[in-house]
Structures are given as structure tokens and as C-alpha cells.
Amino acid sequence: MDEGGDGLSVVLVDDDAAVRDSLALLLGLRGYRTVTFASAEDLLAAVTPDWFGCVVADLRMPGKSGLELAAELQARGIAMPVVIITAHGDVASARTAFRLNAVDFLEKPFDDDALVDALETGHARERERLAARGLRSGRDRFLAALSPREREIAELVAQGMRNPAIAGKLGISPRTVEVHKARIMDKLGARGLDELIRIMSAK
């Protein structure tokens, strides 16, 4: 599932068609792109790790509950944030939801703005995750372009080591370290060491 151009996508999961339709209408009017599912099982049959957005799931549904859905998504390594909505809230369910890293636990009838606030929090989390994933991807491409020696020096630079220390550790001259660093920066297209360090530090 691709994210809309405005970065606001929501996966709605509720067995009540009227609730799905009303939420899709509300969120559409607020500028969100939505996709709906009638059950947790339907979503789980379709979702893949490269989906991104925010899930809004009802707590009580035939088959898997919203909490079971959140747990299954986690188990599959699908990190989309989840908002749990319910007409039958209780402290134990709310506690479980937050243990599963849910963004919010909203009891029906909830204020429209409360849902939008929860989604904005979820989307902020998702943007951070996607930015980190992009940085890791850039780091992997960058490292693949380096020679073994350049990679070694780049990693030592990222650890904060200066040229003389790197030279001593690797048994080469500081001038050779400087030449390698220049090549590394050229391959990266970096404007400074801070950019090199940022990429090398991506986890």
C-alpha cells in the first residue's frame, strides 16, 4: 500500500460497516487517504512489511480483536502505529494496548478531534520510522560503494577518531588517511563530516 502524496494514510479495521463508512468519510474530509477492512483477518491477509500509515482498529470484533491484531502486526515486524477504538473499554484492555505500543485507546463515542490528534501522533511516529529506514538504506548503498579500507576509515571517523589516531591504528600515514577521507566524502557527496557521521551512525 502506497502512502498518499500528503503522507496521511489510515487503515480502518471495524466489523461494523456503518462505523467504517462514517470514519472513512470523516477522515477523507480531513484530508486523509483511507483503506478499510471488515476484520483483523482481512487486513492480515493483505498487509506486507512495506505498508506504512496508521491503523485504527476496533477492540472487539468477530475473530481476532484489535489487541490481537496489534500483537500479530508486531510479531510480523510490521511497525505501523495502531489506535484502538472501543465501545467497551476497560483498564486492563487499555493497559494491554499501551504495552503493545498503541498510540491511543479511544472509547466510543469519541470526539473527532481526539481521533485526529491520535492519528497525527501516529503519523509523526511513522514519518520518523520511514526517515530512519531511508537513512539506513542510504548508508547501505554508501558502504557498498566504498573500498574495504575506506569503509574502515569511515567507521573510525564516525566514532570520533582524528586523523593521527586513525593513522596509528591502521599503520598508515595521516596524509593517507586524509586522502581516503576525501575519496569517502566525494563518494558520499557530503558537505561535511557531520553528514558522514550521521549516515554512518544510522542503525
Q: Which fold has domain 145-200?
A: Arc Repressor Mutant, subunit A (1.10.10)
Cell reading at 69 = 491484531
CATH of 9-135, one of 3.40.50.970, 3.90.79.10, 3.30.70.890, 3.40.50.2300: 3.40.50.2300
- Residue with C-alpha cell 571517523? 157
101, 113, 107, 109: which is closest to 54 by C-alpha? 101
Quote the pTM value: 0.64
Helix 163-170 vs helix 148-158: crossing angle, to nearest 10: 130
- The full set of domain ranges for the chain reads 9-135, 145-200
pLDDT band at 191 (very low <50, low <70, confident <90, very high): low
pLDDT tens digits, residue range 176-188?
998 988 888 887 7
pLDDT tens digits, residue range 57-97?
999 999 999 999 999 999 998 888 999 999 887 888 999 89
Half-sphere exposure of 69 (CA within 13 A, CB side): 34
Length of the chain, please?
203
Mean pLDDT, all residues of the chain:
86
Cell reading at 38 = 471488515
Name the residue type at position 148. P
pLDDT tens digits, residue range 97-106?
988 889 999 9
- Residue with C-alpha cell 473527532? 112
pLDDT tens digits, residue range 2-40?
444 345 589 999 999 999 999 999 999 988 999 999 999
CA–CA distances in Å: residue 54 to residues 1, 35, 64, 70, 102: 12, 11, 18, 11, 10
Task: State CA 141 to chain mean position distance.
Answer: 20
Domains 9-135 and 145-200 share a fold: no
